[in-house]
């Protein structure tokens, strides 16, 4: 007579939980909160593969000689399922001003910037490339005074003067764990109108000064958090 195997039921349940998480991220559109556009394909592929593995494991859970879960195995499976509970239960959040000083600068790592050509409409990845590589910096220098539109998080620093703030954007190559930051110093901002950690769109003229990039603001407007808060180099 076949009976239910505790070990197979436990494994199938954990696989089902992770498959459900991947489907949840896919359906709710939260993939961009954790993965870059380069690696976003892992979510749908993972959802399908984990679902298939869970179905196969649960379908074979009735056996002649059931395996029992040891206490250690039960704890291990529980710990593997903890991230699923946390990601589903906690509200979605993006990296903000608090994390800036805890992340490497894009200029310090140069991840993905070596092949970047500063051409077309200027963006934050162009800024990061210019702060990382001499060739990209020269290309940006040649375009000093051009209009640029940047969206990012308002951050502050003790060295800033009146009407100045740092505009920060996180650049993610693989996943949020490897996020680095690119920053520009915004000048000519209306005093007291910008709050720390706000998302704003700055339109102005760009002026590279060595590795630092300044933007003389023409307009600054508050915006909601973008659907894709992180950039990919």
Residues with Cβ within 8 Å of 205's Cβ and at least 6 positions away in sequence, in order, are: 145, 146, 147, 148, 215, 216, 218
What pLDDT does residue 197 have? 84
Q: Are strands 212-222 and 199-209 parallel, antiparallel or unpaired?
A: antiparallel
What pLDDT does residue 118 have? 65
Task: Identify the structural domains of the chain with CATH numbers, from first to last.
Answer: 3-89 (no CATH), 97-222 (2.40.50.200)
What pLDDT does residue 14 have? 94
Spatial CA neighbour of 76 closest among 34, 13, 5, 24:
13
Bridge partner list, 221:
201
| DSSP-based helix, strand, coil % in the chain, nearest 5 | 40, 25, 40
What pLDDT does residue 102 have? 53
Spatial CA neighbour of 182 closest among 200, 204, 160, 167:
167
Which ranges of the chain have pLDDT less than 70?
A: 96-119, 191-193
pTM of the model: 0.74
Q: Give 190-216 pLDDT, tens digit per residue.
A: 766 677 889 999 999 999 988 889 999
What pLDDT does residue 98 have? 59
């Amino acid at each position: 007579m076949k009976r239910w195997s505790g070990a197979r039921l436990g494994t199938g349940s954990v696989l089902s939980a992770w498959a459900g998480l991947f489907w949840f991220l896919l359906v709710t559109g939260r993939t961009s909160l954790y993965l870059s556009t380069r690696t976003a394909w892992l979510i749908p592929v993972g959802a399908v593969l984990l679902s298939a593995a869970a179905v196969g494991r649960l379908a074979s859970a009735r056996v002649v000689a059931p395996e029992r879960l040891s206490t250690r195995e039960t704890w291990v499976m529980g710990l593997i399922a903890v991230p699923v509970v946390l990601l589903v239960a906690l509200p979605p959040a993006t990296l903000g001003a608090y994390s800036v000083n805890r992340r490497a600068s894009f200029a310090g790592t140069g991840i993905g910037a070596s092949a970047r050509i500063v051409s077309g409409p200027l963006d934050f990845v162009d800024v990061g490339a210019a702060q990382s590589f001499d060739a990209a910096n020269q290309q940006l220098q040649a375009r000093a005074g051009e209009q640029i539109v940047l969206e990012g998080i308002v951050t502050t620093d003790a060295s800033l003067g009146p009407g100045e703030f740092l505009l920060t954007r996180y650049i993610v190559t693989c996943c949020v764990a490897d996020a680095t930051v690119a920053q520009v110093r915004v000048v000519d901002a209306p005093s007291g109108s910008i709050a720390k950690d706000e998302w704003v769109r700055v339109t102005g003229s760009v002026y590279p000064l060595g590795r630092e990039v300044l933007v003389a603001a023409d307009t600054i407007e508050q915006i909601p958090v973008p659907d894709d808060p992180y950039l990919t180099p």
